[in-house]
Amino acid sequence: MTFPADAPAAEVLPSPNRGPRIGAGIDMLILHYTGMPTAEGALARLRDPEAEVSAHYLVFEDGRVVQLVPEAERAWHAGRASWAGIGDINSRSVGIEIVHPGHDGGLPPYPEVQIAAVTALCADILARHPIPAARVLAHSDVAPARKEDPGENFPWDRLAAAGIGHWVAPAPIRDGRFFAMGEAGEPIAALQAMFALYGYDQPVTGRFDEGMRAVVTAFQRHFRPARVDGVADSSTITTLRDLIAALPA
């Protein structure tokens, strides 16, 4: 069943993979890449009832925007995910899929025209919904153990320059103390508490395990992309501290 586009620039190609939102209103915006070889294949999958996956929007490499699900409805894009204690991300969010081959496809640069279209679409969505800057997130932020998208070459800094998302300049990478897999103790627990305070699904266990490495890696992909290695070095920790300090009171 067709519907009127929410975004003026969007062409409507309805997906059956949608349903009613549950509970609270829209307060998150989640960005993904398709991670498939072709745009046509991605569009077909997002409209295939057997795939049971969709998003509100799909942005092509040439800047074309397709709306698959009305913003008033729940698209099936985030899967098993969590942010700031919220488990049903799909009911709270608008999801944008960006046509891109992903890590398996060599992680090429995003085309300029595509980033311009994504930026304009995000601005349009944010004008309609009370989404805080710190809830404009990557799929990898809300599902760090499962997802890598939209990847470390996605230009979050450029979106932030356009007033979209939460961002601080990453702290410089320097030698010095770091925390990595296998370590344990109070400093690890304190760092875990900082990640949890920002919103990541990070239990405070005092152990740097695989789950924490996934969270550190996801954080680096979004906020410190110059080196994505899952090691909590001083640059990573300082950038996290600065982001927390920059949150609204």
Catalytic residue numbers read 97
> Residue 144, Cα to own-chain centre: how many angstroms?
10
Give the pairing type, strands 57-59 and 93-98.
Answer: parallel
Rounded distance between C-alpha atoms, residue 1 and residue 138, angstroms = 29
Rounded distance between C-alpha atoms, residue 94 and residue 97, angstroms = 10
Q: Is 155 left (phi over 0), alpha (psi -120 to 50) or beta?
A: beta
| Close Cβ partners of 33 (under 8 Å, ≥ 6 residues apart) | 97, 98, 99, 100, 101, 102, 149, 150, 151, 154
Place of tokens 């929410």: 6
